Amino acid sequence: THTHTTHGGMSRYGRVDGRQAEERTEDMMRMENDQRLGQLHSQVSFLKGLTRDIQKTVNDDNVILDGMGGDMGDTNSLLGGTFKRLTDMTNTPNSRLTCYLVGFICLAFFIMYSLMSG
């Protein structure tokens, strides 16, 4: 003779079974959360690495651009100085004649080069 104690229409065994099912559900949810947390960790690590790579590329490009800016500044000042000297030279009458002569000689060499190579 085995009697079951009932409470609110549910046996003592029913409450135990319900609790076990609840615990199993909670365990499954914990496992799923752990898996998703692992996936999220992997994605964050990937994004960190990508961000570091982008930062390194940007820094390298900035170094190159800084060097080019300095070279451009040097070239600009060199060309500016040359242009100023040419302007000063062409303002005097004897120098103007010399410039025409140099231009004519350059043109003559260019024509001869074109005729010989073509």
Q: Alpha-carbon distance 99 to 83, whole Å? A: 13
What does residue 10 show for φ and ψ, rounded to 5 degrees? -125, 135
Cα four-point dihedral sign 73, 77, 82, 84: positive
Q: 11 falls in which pLDDT band (50, 70, 90)?
A: low
Would you list the DSSP string of 60-118? HHHHHHHHHHHHHHHHHHHHHHHHHHHHHHHTSHHHHHHHHHHHHHHHHHHHHHHHHH-
What is the C-alpha to C-alpha distance for residues 13 and 36, in angstroms, rounded to an integer? 35
Q: Mean pLDDT lowest for which of 3-12, 84-93, 107-116?
A: 3-12
> Is the entire prediction scored with pTM above 0.85?
no
Range in 22-31, 49-58, 95-104 the model is least confident about: 95-104
Residue 11, helix vs strand vs coil = strand
Please give the mean pLDDT across all residues of the chain: 80
Tens digits of residue pLDDT in 32-80: 999 999 999 999 999 999 999 999 999 888 888 877 777 677 777 777 7
Structure-token match 């820094």, residue found: 59
For residues 56 and 65, give the distance between their C-alpha atoms in angstroms, rounded to a whole number. Answer: 14
